[in-house]
């Protein structure tokens, strides 16, 4: 390995960002939030639609997110064939990047070819079929993430975190799915939501989180070109609210939630990424205590290569064989 690359790798491996919230306070917050959410019916319902794939059933699946916002998704599963045993399938819960929806079923063909069921979800408000019933109690800047950013419970981040945790429940509840083999996957925002799902829902059996966001969020507000620029723009208008805003973000920062993750994790990071910067990704990776692997791309920016897609598939195949 080149000396400069090796030195940079050591710097990242040794990067140690301190927690931004007391762990006892964080755990108490999430214990209360998850207990309250457990009493809300999931209400998952399916409607068959045309499939672009021979031998694959495609349903429109809707489940009740936080605050009962209907979250729209695709549920896709290879149909049983004579002689294949007809056993329950491992399932991939696929989360999209920021401003992106679940797309068409074709986007998820690679996972279906591996024999997985797929639950591909929208993120509330972000361009798909899913709306947002969360009341906006104060002004926000353009975008979504500054919604109710002065309050941890009821913020936009709170809503999408619980939506992500409930997506794992929705996948595990489907009769075609092996509830012990549900993986959360995604890139950028999707990678952050995959890690959040694992931190909040123990049914998550594995995580593939490529170039994830919601990592080391105080650093990101200062430096990132990501969705956190919306928070920076909010603070430009209201600089006196900095402490309150950072306290809200701390409840959803994977830097603080990383020790809650128990499932095996695969992460990737681009060292030239101005959106999900390597310091933010490694800050979280270095605090994960579960079985973990990270793949470095010293010359990549905010992108997920075909090589990394293959590595993610091999990672899940090894765990769900």
- Angstrom CA distances, 174 to 17, 272, 283, stand at 39, 40, 35
- The two tokens of residue 167 are 């997506």
What span, in angstroms and rounded, lies between the C-alpha atoms of 265 and 305? 18
Three-state secondary structure of 171-234: HHCCCCEEEEEEEEEEECHHHHHHHHHHHHCCCEEEEEEECCCCCCHHHHHHHCCCCHHHHHHH
Q: List, by residue number, the catalytic residues.
A: 188, 273, 302
Contact call for residues 228 and 172 (beta carbons, < 8 A) = no
State the sign of the Cα–Cα–Cα–Cα dihedral 79, 58, 184, 67: negative
Kindly give the residue spans of alpha helices, DSSP state H, lying in the chain: 3-13, 23-38, 109-113, 156-172, 189-200, 217-223, 228-237, 242-250, 254-257, 278-285, 306-320
């Amino acid at each position: 390995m080149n000396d400069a690359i090796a030195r940079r790798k050591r710097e990242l491996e040794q990067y140690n960002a301190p927690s931004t919230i007391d762990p006892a306070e964080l755990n108490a917050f999430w214990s209360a939030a998850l207990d309250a959410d457990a009493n809300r019916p999931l209400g998952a319902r399916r409607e068959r639609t045309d499939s672009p794939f021979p031998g694959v059933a495609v349903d429109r699946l809707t489940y009740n997110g936080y605050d009962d916002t209907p979250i729209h998704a695709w549920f896709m599963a290879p149909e049983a064939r004579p002689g294949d045993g007809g056993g329950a399938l491992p399932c991939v819960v696929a989360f999209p990047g920021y401003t992106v929806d679940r797309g068409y079923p074709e986007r998820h063909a690679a996972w279906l070819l591996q024999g997985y069921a797929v639950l591909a979800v929208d993120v509330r408000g972000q361009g798909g079929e899913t709306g947002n019933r969360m009341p906006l109690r104060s002004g926000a800047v353009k975008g979504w993430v500054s919604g109710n950013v002065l309050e941890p419970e009821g913020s936009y981040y709170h809503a999408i975190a619980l939506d992500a945790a409930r997506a794992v429940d929705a996948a595990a509840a489907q009769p075609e799915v092996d509830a012990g083999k549900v993986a959360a996957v995604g890139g950028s925002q999707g990678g952050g939501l995959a890690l959040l799902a694992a931190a909040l829902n123990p049914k998550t059996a594995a995580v593939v989180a490529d170039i994830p966001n919601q990592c080391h969020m105080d650093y990101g507000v200062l430096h990132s070109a990501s969705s956190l620029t919306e928070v920076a723009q909010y603070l430009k208008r209201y600089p006196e609210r900095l402490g309150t805003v950072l306290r809200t973000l701390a409840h959803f920062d994977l830097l603080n939630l990383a020790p809650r993750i128990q499932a095996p994790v695969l992460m990737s990071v681009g060292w030239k990424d101005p959106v999900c910067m390597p310091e933010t990704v490694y800050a979280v990776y270095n605090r994960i205590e579960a079985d973990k692997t990270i793949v470095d791309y010293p010359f990549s920016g905010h992108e997920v290569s075909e090589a990394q897609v293959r590595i993610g598939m091999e990672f899940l195949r090894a765990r769900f064989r």
